[in-house]
Structure 1
Amino acid sequence: MATPVTLLDPQCCTPLAHDIISRDEAESLAVTLRALADPARLRLISLVAAHDGAEACVCDLTEPVGLSQPTVSHHLRVLVDAGILTREQRGRWAYYRLVPERLDGIASLLATPVG
């Protein structure tokens, strides 16, 4: 939730038109953006999103990104830890699914309010 900011000297500062994100929100967003700030991870998110139901098996993700399976698994773990993907083990394979609410939350924190 946005936090109101009180200006120390309103005569010398331009008043804020909108609330800013809280310190906790900024720290959480920074963790998420670090997870997203990797081309391989962005491609993995895109690949998962492109699959039916926005869910993909790890076996479908390794070859398209051109990385080894352990490297892909590491990137997927970072995305799961950031709450961007969920992981479900089905027998031998792990399946990854996008968390749309998390992506929506990131977008809303980055959106600049108008008006």
Structure 2
Amino acid sequence: MQKTFSLPSTLVVAGFHALSDPLRVQVLDLLRDQELCVCDLTEALGVSQSKLSFHLKALKEAQLVQTRHEGRWIYYSLNLSQFAVLEQYLAEFRRFSPILPARACRE
């Protein structure tokens, strides 16, 4: 029996792609407790604004972060609803896949 998922696959792929980079994961860890502007993130991570902008774009395209403009600054925060989408996607594997004991490979 083939399962079909109702989740938008492009967002799932973009989400996991965004999570595959260590710097982007560090950004998400920093945003866990509070929203931050780019200047705060560059200082905390020790990277240039141009390098960080590339990674923030990937996180925004994956909808893992959201932005808020205040004057000339852009503040970033987590978009928790997109994390829920990724959690739901992974939960489907747990729900429909039997957990089998590990088999020893034969040589």
TM-score (normalised: structure 2)? 0.76
Distance in 2 between residues matched to 1:102 and 1:28, nearest whole Å: 8
The residue number in structure 1 matching 2:62 is 82
- Correspondence list, 1:7-86, <5 A: 19-21=3-5, 25-51=8-34, 55-86=35-66
1:113 partner letter: R
Larger radius of gyration: 1
- Correspondence list, 1:84-103, <5 A: 84-103=64-83
CA distances 1:9-56 after superposition (whole Å, capped 9, x unpaired): xxxxxxxxxx4536x7444312221111100000001101122xxx21
2:22 partner letter: P
User: Which structure exhibits the higher relative contact order, with contacts defined as CA atoms closer than 8 Å and separated by 6 or more residues?
Assistant: 2
Q: Runs of at least 4 residues of structure 1 off by over 6 A?
A: none
Aligned residues: CA RMSD: 2.1
- Percent identical among aligned pairs is 33
- Kindly indicate whether the alpha-carbon contact (under 8 Å) linking 2:15 and 2:62 is maintained by their aligned counterparts in 1: yes
Gaps of 5+ in 1: 6-18
TM-score (normalised: structure 1)? 0.71
Quick check: 1:113 aligned with 2:95? Answer: yes
2:12 partner letter: L
